[in-house]
Structure 1
Amino acid sequence: MAKDPSRGEFRKRLYFFTLKLIEFIDQLPKDNVSQRIGDELFGSGTSVISSYIEASAATSTKEINIHTIASLKYANECKLWLALVRDSKRAKPEKVKWFLDELDDISKILADSIKK
């Protein structure tokens, strides 16, 4: 279940997630498909934190929501690429599981923070 962390704690969590994701991508096989999936995974995975940082600097509720929703969308896209890495057997399921679990929790926190 998603906790309600402070902004600073959540930012650190996203940063740690991103660093681990970069390490994971570096360990993918060096074939063409893995590299392409890795590029997509890198793009969506790093965009989770970059959109969150944009939301943190926003000046209106509308702008905060736009960037938070973008961060949530990138988290969901990242889940897709991770599932493809796992299901195409380019990484062991147990290595992917942590990322998927973490993204589920991150997504819940982001969704809960979107101001209605």
Structure 2
Amino acid sequence: MDNNKINENLIVKLSFDFSLMIIEYAEILEQKRKFVIANQLLKSGTSIGANIWEAQNAESKANFIHKMKISAKECEETKYWLLLCKHSSQYPNNDNLLEKIEILQKVLNKIIATSKRVVS
């Protein structure tokens, strides 16, 4: 999938852009020596997009739904780490990331629900 494909698919674009934002935030955390949370956020936050990317070449509708559900779970984990950062006085502001993950979750949930209806 090239740059055009990223821009043509809403969920791919949202998750790709979110991953870039997570990378930047993790780098800021590392500069502040918050290595454990930075690593957790980097893993779960970029895994969202990796699974969505992989779902674009799913072998079946069921496989597509499965990959999207994994992405939804990674969204939940990432949101947890972001909320920990938000509520800790020692971490930089991440309200923008929390807003973006809410949007990602809504779009993902809609895709999963719609895909399930199509399969049934």
TM over 0.5: yes
Map 1:71-82 to 2 at 5 A: 71-82=71-82
For residues 81 and 12 of structure 2, the distance between their equivalents in structure 1, rounded to whole angstroms, comes to: 22
For residues 12 and 108 of structure 1, the distance between their equivalents in structure 2, rounded to whole angstroms, comes to: 14
Aligned partner of 1:96 in structure 2 is: 94
The amino acid across from 1:89 in the alignment is S
**CA 1:69–1:7: 2 relative to 1, 3 Å:** farther
For residues 102 and 77 of structure 1, the distance between their equivalents in structure 2, rounded to whole angstroms, comes to: 14
For residues 8 and 50 of structure 2, the distance between their equivalents in structure 1, rounded to whole angstroms, comes to: 14
The share of aligned pairs that are identical, in percent, is: 27
Aligned partner of 2:3 in structure 1 is: none
Name the stretch that deviates more: 49-58 or 8-17. Answer: 8-17
Instruction: Give the unaligned 5+ runs of structure 1.
Output: 1-5
Q: Give CA deviations for 1:48-83 in whole Å, capped at 9, x if unaligned.
A: 000101111102111001000000110110000011
The answer to whether structure 1 residue 39 and structure 2 residue 39 are counterparts is yes
The structure whose RCO (Cα within 8 Å, separation 6+) is larger is 1
CA RMSD of aligned residues (A): 1.5
Runs of 4+ in 1 over 6 A off after TM superposition: none
Q: Give CA deviations for 1:27-68 in whole Å, capped at 9, x if unaligned.
A: 1111xxx21111111110010000101111102111001000
